Amino acid sequence: MGYTLVLEQLLNGLQFGLMLFLIAAGLTLVFGIMDILNLAHGSLYMAGAYVAADTMQRTGSFVAAVCVAALATGVIGAILEIVLIRRLALRDHLAQVLGTYAVILIAGDLVKMVWGPAPVMLATPAALSGPVRLLPDLMYSSYRLMIIAVGLLVALGLYAFVTRTRAGVLVRAGASNRQMATLMGVRVPVLFLGVFCLGAMLAAVAGALMGPLTAVQVGMGEEILILVLVCIVIGGIGSIRGAFVGALLVGMVDTAGRAFLPSLLRQVFSPAVAGSVGPTLAAISIYVLMAVVLIFRPAGLFPARG
């Protein structure tokens, strides 16, 4: 096993972890600040991917595709928050789960009506289709490097927004004591609407960026949502820093497991057994990681502070 393969898989894990963070950041903000368990967050990720693919086919511009996907999904998020989420906020978490799960079913059917049941292709932009030489014997995808850069910039921007801006202070004040913030003149419903739209736009950007790497198809949101929930549980619900660390851990563990476990198992078992058992153990490893973290830190690695 050469060091170039290890470095390449570490970069793949970083890229996947940062994509998980883009989705997890919005979900943990909504859950931690608004106390809404939004299972439909994965559907917003799917919507962003489909809108980006459609825009890319019409315009040929990947930048326009990402921007249109973010704006369109932000509008969808605003409508969803006003029509449904605002009412579910007054109910318990069971009602929130049932209500947002219904949105998942409706979103899947709407996508089939608009784009059909077959997967939609989202091409990699031509300028980022080739590899970049990072080391003398290590070539790496320029598109994946762009995703890493975008993920890091979004992480820094979100941290600065929540901790360094007046809007972030108001959002945290509304989350800590909504009634007191309202009496002080803070328009808490407007702030929460903004938080929900921001989460929807981040999920859409993640969907648009992941489109060229994975199939844009119905159900892609539910597949990624499970991993995202694991990320925020590991990191701590409501914590941007926790979502960042949890997403990186899950991305690294998942990627390393899928890349290295089958070859390690071949040292003990037959290739057929190693090929079938390896991916299964890799998928289980992230849940083992979550269980270990919860044993020692039940609130997550970096629980949100009031």
Residues 62-86 pLDDT 10s: 999 999 999 999 999 999 999 998 8
Q: What is the pLDDT of residue 60?
A: 85
Question: Residue 278: its pLDDT value, please?
Answer: 73
Please report the domains of the chain, with CATH numbers, ordered by start residue: 3-129+138-296 (1.10.3470)
Note the pLDDT of residue 153. Answer: 92
Q: What is the pLDDT of residue 106?
A: 92
The answer for residues whose C-beta is within 8 angstroms of residue 186's C-beta and 6 or more apart is 170, 173, 174
**CA nearest neighbour of 264 among 16, 6, 4:** 6
Query: In sequence order, which residues have a C-beta less than 8 Å from that of residue 249 and are 6 or more positions away?
Result: 17, 231, 234, 289
Contact 215, 87 (CB under 8 A): no
| Spans of the chain below 70 pLDDT | 1-2, 173-178, 181, 304-306
Residue 37 near residue 232 (C-beta atoms within 8 A)? no
The amino acid at 277: V
Whole-model pTM: value is 0.89
Within the chain, strands assigned E span: 131-135, 138-141
pLDDT of residue 177: 65
pLDDT value of position 94: 85
Dig out the tokens for 58 from the structure: 């019409």
55 alpha carbon, distance to own chain's centre:
21
